[in-house]
Amino acid sequence: MKVRGIRGAITVDVNEKQPILQATIELLNGIVQENGILPEDICSVMITVTHDLDAAFPAAAIRQLSDWELVPLMCALEVPVKGSLERCIRFLLHVNTDKTQAEIKHVYLGGAQVLRPDLSKT
């Protein structure tokens, strides 16, 4: 079994607590479903937000989910590059899996599809 990284991102329309938490759960569910993983498979989750999302910690939404209380979560501020995508939440999950790198499915939702159009579903 290897440790693989799974990336994902989603945008939020407004800087408000509930939309941030809901988008976090939507992205997490998408990654989990696309890759068939369980919380116990996850080594850690790194979450970044752009500077314009300061109404909530995205990790707070995940900590409320059943079976996720032991998964290490970390939130950080995304590098504020001029002209970069606004109101964006990004994930990097480190997962124990037998899947190859090519079998991993990265998930980009909403406006974040522009970050990786090659990996986004249309």
Question: Residues with catalytic annotation?
Answer: 7, 63, 75, 78, 90, 108, 116
CA distance 3 to 54: 31
CA distance 84 to 111: 12
Give the H or E element holding residue 11: strand 2-11
Q: Hunting for tokens 């409320």 — which residue is that?
A: 64
Strands 2-11 and 88-97: antiparallel
Instruction: Give exposure, 47-82, as e/b (b: 16+ Cβ within 10 Å).
Output: bbbbeebeebbbbebbeeeeebeebebebeebeeee
